[in-house]
Amino acid sequence: MHIRRLSVVFSTALCLAISSQSFSKAPPVLDHTQAQSETIIDVVSKLRTKHYRDLKIDDSLSQAFLDNYIETLDPSRMFFFQKDIDQFKKEANNFDDYFKAGKLDAGFDIFLIYRQRVLTRLESIIAILEDPSIKFTFDGSDSVELERDNSPWPKTKKEADEIWFKRIKLGLLNLKLAGKDVEEGRETLIKRYKNQLNRASQQDNADIFETMANALTTLYDPHTNYWSQRTSENFDINMSLSLEGIGAVLQTEDELVKVVRLVPGGPAHRQGDLKPADRITGVAQGQDGEVVDVVGWRLDEVVQLIRGPKNTVVKLEVLPAGASVDEKPKLISINRGKVKLEDQAAEKAVFELPHGDEIYKIGVINIPHFYFDFQAKFARDPNFASVSRDVSRLLDELKRENVDGVILDLRNNGGGSLDEARELTGFFIDQGPVVQIRTSDGRIDRNNRSAFRAKYRGPLIVMVNRLSASASEIFAGAIQDYKRGIVVGSQSFGKGTVQSLTHLREGRLKLTESKFYRVSGESTQHRGVIPDIELPFLLDADDVGESSYDNALPWDQIHSVNHAEYFNFSSLIPVLDNLHRDRIQHDPDFIYIEDQIALMKKSKERTVVSLNEKKRIEEKNQMEREAMEIDNKRRIAKKLEPYKTIEDFRKNELDKEEDSDTVAVEEETVAREKIDVDGDTLLIETGNILVDYIRLMNKPDYKQASNF
Whether the Cβ atoms of residue 81 and residue 153 lie closer than 8 Å to each other:
yes
Give the bridge partners for 363, in sequence order: 350, 406
All residues at 6 or more sequence positions from 218 whose CB lies less than 8 Å from its CB, including other chains: 5, 68, 224, 225, 550, 551
Residue partners of 223: CB distance under 8 A and separation at least 6: 497, 499, 510, 512
Tell me if residue 495 is catalytic: yes
Answer positive or negative: Cα dihedral of 654, 658, 664, 666. Answer: negative
Task: Give the DSSP per-residue string, 507-570.
Answer: SEEEEEEEEEE-TTSBB-TTT----SEE---SS-TTTSSGGGBTTPPPP-B------------T
In this structure, which amino acid lies at residue 368?
P
C-alpha torsion angle, residues 509, 513, 518, 523 (rounded to 10): 80
Question: Bridge-partner residues for 498, per DSSP?
Answer: 514
First-to-last alpha carbon distance for the chain, in angstroms, is 45
Interstrand relation of 460-464 and 405-409 (parallel, antiparallel or unpaired) = parallel
Pairing of strands 279-285, 313-319: antiparallel
How many Å apart are CA 196 and CA 398, to the nearest integer?
Answer: 56
Q: What secondary structure does DSSP assign to 315-347, as a single string? A: EEEEEPTT--TTSPPEEEEEE-BPPPHHHHS-E
314 pairs with which residues across the strands? 285, 334
| Torsion angles phi and psi, residue 300, rounded to 5 | -65, -30
Beta-bridged to residue 332, according to DSSP, are 316
Q: How far is CA 320 from the centre of its chain?
A: 13
Question: Which residue(s) pair with 591 in the sheet?
Answer: none
Distance of alpha carbon 313 from alpha carbon 294, whole angstroms: 18
**Where in 585-672 does DSSP place strands (E)?**
608-610
Q: Which one from 176, 348, 495, 515 is the annotated catalytic residue?
A: 495
> Which residue among 470, 520, 523, 610 is the active-site one?
470
- Among 207, 273, 390, 481, the active-site one is 481
Say how far apart CA 641 and CA 629 lie, in whole Å. Answer: 13
Nearest to 453 by CA among 420, 484, 421, 427: 427
Among residues 79, 75, 107, 103, the alpha carbon closest in space to that of 91 is found at: 107
Catalytic residues: 470, 481, 495
